[in-house]
Amino acid sequence: MMPVTQRLHLLLGDDDFLTGRVISAVSAEQSGLAGTPVPVTRVRAGDVSEHELAELLSPSLFAEERIVVVESAAEAGKEPAALIAQAAASLPDGITLMVVHTGGGRAKSMVPALKKAGAVEHATAAPRWSSERMDFVRQEFRSLGVKVSPEVVEQVVEGVGSELRELAAACAQLVADTDGKVDRDAVRLYYQGRPEVTGFEVADRAVTGNRAAALESLAWALHHGVPHVLLADALAEAVHRIARIRPMGTGDHFALASELGMPPRRVKDVQAQARAWDSESIAKAVQVVATLNGEVKGQAADADFALTSAVARVADLRPSGRRR
């Protein structure tokens, strides 16, 4: 059984890309330890009832592993907040609790309670300033085993903008293109009109159920050397966004954009995608991308096959996609 401190996670900040990345990493780790995909249940603190939350955080009969993600925890009511803090202090066997909290809100007292309970803390707030985005880019390169100059970092931020997902994609692509030798000339070449190859098109086609087009885009991306991890991250991001936005329904995408920290147009696109999914299918898709995360990081003998299989499964899981 895992130590409590590895089963309790506090995600401070609600940036969609960063929270999705942490959830995928924890899910992959837990699934690897369990030897089977561990189900992930995502709920919004303001939408889930006290009874539903209590049921999610109660031990199962056979202590089966599961991950419970409580989002928008800062807006939790008094009873749900108390229930989360109580569960965190003594997590039942088999449960991993991940709490996404901005640090403020009416349930701000939950943060010190979770810290006291030994939660693993993750910084998932979107950078506000250019200097913070440069720190993010510097860390991305470092995580890929590459050290770059301050000038390169500045060039990447200026060229890409503020979207973290796009910054991460650019870093991974530059490292792949240069075999880790990223200098100012390499960045300049990257922005001189070379074909942009990313996993976003693959992911969008998969979650809309267009199996043939998704696999065609994937084959093209693999042929052009897009890193396996980048493709897997894009697919996980698309699935997690649907899982997060689907329970919110078809509300005002401008209001939701402010709450989620996403561009309004992107929220509207995901809302349209989410309408075709049901809770069972998206839960299975979350498990697929969690498994893929571990496979592309060394657990699979053939990463190309793992990606192809995952993309096909996600496309097939979309209810209307099964008929395409």
Position 172 in a domain: yes
Position 195 in a domain: no
pLDDT, mean of residues 71-92: 87
Task: Say yes or no: 297 and 185 in one domain.
Answer: no
- CATH at residue 314: 1.20.272.10
Alpha helices by DSSP H, the chain: 4-7, 16-34, 50-56, 78-89, 110-116, 130-143, 150-160, 164-178, 184-190, 200-207, 211-223, 228-245, 253-260, 264-274, 279-294, 303-317
pLDDT, tens only, 13-37? 988 899 999 999 999 898 888 888 8
Position 68 in a domain: yes
Task: Say yes or no: 312 and 239 in one domain.
Answer: yes
pLDDT, tens only, 97-117? 999 999 888 888 899 999 999
Inform me whether the pLDDT recorded for 293 exceeds 60.
yes
**Residue-wise burial string across 138-161, b where 16 or more C-beta atoms lie within 10 A, e elsewhere:** bebbeebebebeeebbebbbeebe
First to last CA, the chain: 43
Determine the residue type at 290: A
Residue 44 forms beta bridges with which residues?
A: 71
Per the structure, the complete domain to which residue 306 belongs is given by: 200-323
Domain count, the chain: 3
Residue 257 pLDDT level (bands cut at 50, 70, 90)? confident
Secondary structure (DSSP) of 14-55: --HHHHHHHHHHHHHHHHHHHTSPPPEEEEETTTS-HHHHHH
pLDDT, mean of residues 245-270: 76
Position 34 in a domain: yes
